[in-house]
Amino acid sequence: MNAVRDLILFILFLIMLGVVWVYSGGAERSIARGGALLEPPAPLGGGRAYDVPSVALRPRTAPDDDDDTNPSGWGPSVVTTFTNFLGTFSEESSPYAKYVTLERGRADSDLAGEYVIIRVSKSAPSKVTVSDWRIESTQQNIGVSLGSGTELPSANQVNIEGPITVNPGAVLYVSTRRSEVGVSFRTNICTGYFEQFQNFTPSLKLECPRADDEAERLINVAGLPDMCRDEIDKLGRCIYHINALPGAIGALCQDFLLTKMTYVGCVNQHRNDPGFYKDEWRLYLRRDQQLWKSKYERIRLVDENKKVIDVVSY
């Protein structure tokens, strides 16, 4: 019985030594990886260290980046963290992060005026399709895709929508509400006409051709009645003529004012001109309620692979 008891005690002693060895670092300790063993003390030995080769442990390496998901020339991915009321989370940055920025705009406004801004650097390596990008609140755990739009918005008819592809240098105003013209769109030199009867935030630029310049180009101004020339001079940029026109101005003048000095007339005359399209887009998330908090908000833009392009906090 004593022999059995002694054996059990010896086994327990070995187990305790193993536990102490593990908790003290085990194989990770430098003495276990390299260094020396000692000779037995005198008279059997001199107590000196035996020279033994050290063995380096294989270093831990990070997994390789999946280059297939990174658009060529845009940039590398980097992992960061953020914290909200749900806890701490990791975020992997998008290859687009090097060239695309998100700005607060008027995210803390009411529904009618609420928008954020996305800017694509002029030095970006190529065009980029943004339709599957999402804009999200990490504080509220909500988000919306940027969606589809049209390159050339139509007036008074249904617009055909497709993926939104933007150029380097593009600026995108992303509004929460529904579109005033029913669709997300790229601006051009004629879209200022939309401002006459709608309130855009921010306002559309009034870049339409001037009425007197168009008259010089399209009709013989010198041969027009003075009353017609007066009406042309009074007409502001990007303004429809909505008042009744006196018959004395002549049929040619009436046709010019009512058909040429309109959005449709402007597009028909200039859509093939250099510089007709602008690198500004108006995108609409088509929501009926505000998305962003008035304070303590964190908005992030993520790409089609759920990697973070940029974040804005306030």
Q: SS3 letters for 129-160? A: ECCCCEEEECCCCEEEECCCEECCCCCCCCCC
Please tell me the predicted confidence (pLDDT) of residue 24: 52
Here the tokens at position 152 are 């050339």
More confident residue, 32 or 261: 261
Instruction: List the strands of the sheet with 185-188, edge to edge.
Output: 100-103, 115-120, 171-175, 277-284, 185-188
The pLDDT tens digits of the residues spanning 113-136 come to 999 999 999 999 999 999 999 999
More confident residue, 20 or 204: 204
d(CA 223, CA 233) in angstroms, rounded, equals 15
Q: What is the DSSP letter of 113?
A: G
Highest averaged pLDDT of the listed ranges 20-34, 37-51, 126-140: 126-140
pLDDT band (50, 70, 90) for residue 45: very low
Which H or E run contains 116? strand 115-120
Q: Please state whether the predicted TM-score (pTM) of the whole model is above 0.85.
A: no
Please tell me the predicted confidence (pLDDT) of residue 25: 54
Q: How many CB atoms lie within 10 A of CB 176?
A: 25
Residue whose entry in the numeric block shows the structure tokens 């940039």: 75
Residue length of the chain? 314
pLDDT band (50, 70, 90) for residue 38: very low
